[in-house]
DNA sequence: CTGCGGTAACTTACCCGACGGTCATATCGC
DNA sequence: GCGATATGACCGTCGGGTAAGTTACCGCAG
């Protein structure tokens, strides 16, 4: 459709076209994962030839790195902003989620870009993502330390497990949001606030250690 | 080593060999994901040829389906057992986690088998996994309904988001466990109990809705 | 016991489609 | 005409899947 063969689409400035490719590639990488996304697919979706993508970004990894740099900068900046506003504990978590919903309302797939297990574990792109992931995780750790410190927990392993869990909670809400496109950022914020409040004040029972009998299960 | 060329390893009964292949394949699928796992890799790890794997399981999907059937049966059975013991709310969640730690102590990768996004979304194997995933999710929903019901929340979307979140929490603990092989099931159970107790009784502040200013962020 | 054919287990060597990546060529603005 | 921009056609590799051949075991006739 767009792009009759060799029409010479020079009218479109290169920078704009790069941004569009980046947007499409981010969506694809974030939706299907790095491994399952083909450069040809991205090019086709952008109405452009595969070769042109390579001339812009050098390689599949280069394209991926560009997407990650954009996504990582966006998210890390925003999370750092919330970190400075002085909230703490569970409230800080909710505020962080709210900020991310606001920023990602029209690019919900972006969160998954930084947490894609199919992405290569080394190479230049991996270093980019590792850097941003480290920043984000450091902020998460900060929040978790406050939260657990209030409960008298300072053990390193406890903290690292809780950080992992917090990131998993964010993952889950993002996944749910992607699966419910009609929900806007404000609705999500309210929902998350409501749910976390309900979780924090469990009305059912006290938490008790499970019976030791739980250990000898397994048929 | 084993298997000098065409040594005729008939001494090993077929059923045992199938079980061994299944064990190795489960580890591989659970660790690297369906897409990133090659049949040749599995065969090599089992000390046999790729063709033999095909003669046993028909296809890569067939092998995958066999792994999933085993894993799904194990997990669904165990979760259902806990569901019948009468606990509720957060306590039921902790008990479920404890049971899963006990069952999966020496096969920690198995949980990820059922939650692999790189697995094909249709085909016979997908139906197997969908069935078990549905059973597990139904039980999770049951628990979430109790928990949220106690807080006066019955909205369907709230429930579905909370189910997703709970599964994400399980994912996170399992991931952390895989990354910390020295931790045994009993230690994990204690840790999870401690962490969830800390989360549920937040000592820092009340949860409050974030300021509306949070909405107009994004540089 | 020995030789022999049948069969099940197993492997080597190959096919083929998909995908990352490259090159010669064609078009457009100036 | 020239340089920048863009492309269709092509290559190498990798991985799922298959065909044909090889080995080992078993029952049995002599």
The 10s digit of each residue's pLDDT in B56-68 is 999 999 999 999 9
Q: How many CB pairs under 8 A join A and B?
A: 213
- In angstroms, the separation between the Cα of residue A53 and the nearest Cα of chain B is 25
SS3 annotation, B112-140: HHCCCCCCCCCCHHHHHHHHHHHHHHHHH
CA distance B216 to B219: 9
Q: What is the pLDDT of residue B13?
A: 67
Determine what percent of chain B falls in helix, strand and coil, rounding each to the nearest 5. 70, 0, 30
Name which of B2, B40, B3 is nearest B24 in CA terms.
B40
CA distance A60 to A37: 10
DSSP B143: H
Burial class (CB in 10 A: 0-12, 13-18, 19+), A106: exposed
pLDDT category of residue A48 using cuts at 50, 70 and 90: very high
A170: CB partners within 8 A, 6+ apart: A97, A100, A111
CB A195 to CB B165 under 8 A? yes
- For residue B208, is it within any domain? no
Q: What is the pLDDT of residue A154?
A: 93
* Mean pLDDT score of chain A: 85
Q: What is the pLDDT of residue B168?
A: 96
CA distance A144 to A88: 9
DSSP A211: P
- For residue B164, is it within any domain? yes
Residue B86 has pLDDT above 70, yes or no: yes
* Gyration radius (Cα) of chain B, Å: 21
Q: What is the pLDDT of residue B170?
A: 96
Crossing angle of helices A156-179 and B185-200, in 10° steps, is: 70
Give the structural domain span for B97. 68-200
Q: Are B89 and B99 in contact (CB under 8 A)?
A: no
B19 touches chain A (CB under 8 A): no
pLDDT in tens, B105-144: 999 999 999 999 999 988 877 888 888 889 899 989 999 9
Q: Considering CB atoms only, which of B102, B117, B219 is closest to A215?
A: B102
B218 touches chain A (CB under 8 A): yes
Q: Are B217 and A102 in contact (CB under 8 A)?
A: yes
B162: CB partners within 8 A, 6+ apart: A195, A199, B144, B147, B148
Phi, psi of A122, deg, nearest 5 = -135, -175
The pLDDT of B47-57, averaged and rounded, is: 94
- For residue A188, is it within any domain? yes
Which structure tokens are listed for B151? Answer: 């807080």
Q: Are A45 and A24 in contact (CB under 8 A)?
A: yes
Q: Which residue has the tokens 């979304």?
A: B121
Put residue B151 in one of left, alpha, beta given phi > 0 → left and psi -120 to 50 → alpha.
Answer: alpha
Residue B1 has pLDDT above 60, yes or no: no
pLDDT category of residue B12 using cuts at 50, 70 and 90: low
Name which of B141, B130, B192 is nearest B164 in CA terms.
B141
- For residue A3, is it within any domain? no
- For residue B40, is it within any domain? no
Q: Which of A3-7, A202-206, B23-27, B61-65 has the lowest mean pLDDT?
A: A3-7
The pLDDT of A22-37, averaged and rounded, is: 95
37-76 of B, contacting A, C-beta below 8 A: none
The pLDDT of B76-85, averaged and rounded, is: 89
B99 touches chain A (CB under 8 A): yes
**Which stretches of B151-208 are DSSP H helices?**
156-179, 185-200
197-216 of A, contacting B, C-beta below 8 A: 197-210, 214-216
Q: What is the pLDDT of residue B124?
A: 77
Name which of A102, A107, A161 is nearest B171 in CA terms.
A161
CA distance B192 to B180: 14
Q: What is the pLDDT of residue B214?
A: 45
- For residue B107, is it within any domain? yes
As for how many domains chain B has, the answer is 1
Q: Which CATH number does the domain housing residue A80 bear? A: 1.10.357.10
Residues of A in contact with B209 (CB under 8 A): 189-190, 193
114-173 of A, contacting B, C-beta below 8 A: 117-118, 146-148, 150-151, 153, 157-158, 160-162, 164-165, 167-169, 171-173
CB A94 to CB B207 under 8 A? yes
pLDDT category of residue B215 using cuts at 50, 70 and 90: very low
Which structure tokens are listed for B3? Answer: 């298997």
**Nucleotides on strand C with an atom closer than 7 A to protein CB?**
9-13, 18-24, 26-29
H or E segment to which residue A133 belongs: helix A124-150
Phi, psi of B112, deg, nearest 5 = -70, -20
Residues of A in contact with B205 (CB under 8 A): 87-91
Name which of A115, A121, A14 is nearest A61 in CA terms.
A121
B55: CB partners within 8 A, 6+ apart: none
User: Does residue B61 approach strand D to less than 7 Å at its CB?
Assistant: yes
- For residue A216, is it within any domain? no
Between the alpha carbon of residue A18 and those of residues A9, A59, A129, the distances in Å are: 13, 14, 20
User: Does residue B11 approach strand D to less than 7 Å at its CB?
Assistant: yes
Other CB atoms within a 10 A radius of the CB of residue B1 amount to 4
- For A156, which residue in chain B has the nearest alpha carbon? B191
* Mean pLDDT score of chain B: 85
Distance B54 CA to D21 C1' (A): 17
Q: What is the pLDDT of residue A132?
A: 87
- For residue B28, is it within any domain? no
To 5 degrees, how large is the angle CA A7–CA A10–CA A11?
A: 105
CA distance A101 to A98: 5
State how far Cα B34 lies from the chain centre: 14
């Amino acid at each position: 459709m767009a792009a009759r063969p060799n029409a010479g689409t020079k009218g479109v400035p290169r920078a704009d076209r790069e941004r569009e490719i980046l947007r499409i590639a981010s969506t694809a990488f974030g939706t299907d994962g790095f491994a399952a996304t083909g450069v040809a697919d991205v090019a086709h979706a952008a109405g452009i030839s595969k070769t042109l993508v390579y001339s812009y970004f050098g390689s599949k990894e280069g394209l991926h790195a560009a997407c990650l740099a954009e996504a990582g900068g966006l998210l890390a900046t925003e999370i750092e902003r919330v970190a400075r506003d002085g909230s703490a504990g569970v409230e800080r978590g909710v505020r962080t989620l709210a900020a991310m919903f606001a920023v990602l309302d029209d690019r919900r797939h972006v969160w998954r870009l930084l947490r894609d297990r199919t992405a290569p574990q080394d190479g230049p792109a991996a270093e980019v993502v590792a850097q941003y992931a480290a920043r984000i995780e450091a902020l998460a750790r900060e929040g978790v330390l406050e939260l657990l410190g209030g409960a008298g927990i300072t053990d390193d392993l406890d903290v690292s497990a809780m950080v992992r869990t917090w990131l998993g909670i964010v993952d889950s809400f993002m996944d749910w949001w992607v699966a419910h496109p009609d929900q806007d950022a404000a609705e999500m914020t309210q929902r998350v606030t409501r749910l976390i409040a309900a979780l924090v004040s469990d009305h059912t029972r006290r938490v008790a250690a499970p019976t030791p009998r739980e250990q000898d299960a397994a048929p």
